[in-house]
Amino acid sequence: MTNRQRYDWETIRAEYEAGSSMGRLSEKHGVDKAAISRRAKKEAWTQDVVGAVDRVVDAKVNGIVNTADPEKKAAAIRAAADRKVAVINRHREEWERHHELIVEAVTNKDFDTAKLAKITAETLKIRQEAERKAWGIRDVDAQPDGGALTVRILRVSGE
């Protein structure tokens, strides 16, 4: 085997995370045990099956079947991102239409349209939250504390 030979690191990692020892992996795949150890440390491999299953599920859901081929992987990632972008854009359009409904209700002082706007907002919120969860879409600006506001009052000495 040459130094330039490509190893199937995805398979090696999956087998390690499923419980195989580094020694067994070295024998099976012809990779130096130290190389496996370095890679495992660098990529934080664990023998936690839940993490391995989650990675494989995510790859399959997003169409990333052959992750050893960088071009196929990049294309699958772009396609998965495009699908999520379409969902996010649709959500934004729905809120824009909802905004127009509110403007109409306020402008015309129309109580029934205002009630419809309230019901529509609640429905959109519930459906979109569920849809974002199903698509694995996270709000990048979401705060880990759930959006709690922390206020710190600073006192200047001498006051």
Q: Which residues of the chain have pLDDT under 70?
A: 1-5, 49, 51-52, 65-69, 140-159
pLDDT for residue 4? 47
pLDDT for residue 145? 54
pLDDT for residue 74? 77
pLDDT for residue 104? 95
Report H helices in the chain.
9-17, 22-29, 33-42, 49-61, 70-108, 111-135
76: CB partners within 8 A, 6+ apart: 62, 63, 64, 65
Q: Which residue has the tokens 């790859």?
A: 59
37: CB partners within 8 A, 6+ apart: 22
pLDDT for residue 126? 96
Does residue 10 contact residue 67 with C-beta atoms inside 8 Å?
A: yes
pLDDT for residue 154? 58
Q: Residue 78, CB half-sphere, CA atoms under 13 Å: how many?
A: 6
pLDDT for residue 109? 96
Helices 49-61 and 9-17, interaxial angle, to 10°? Answer: 140
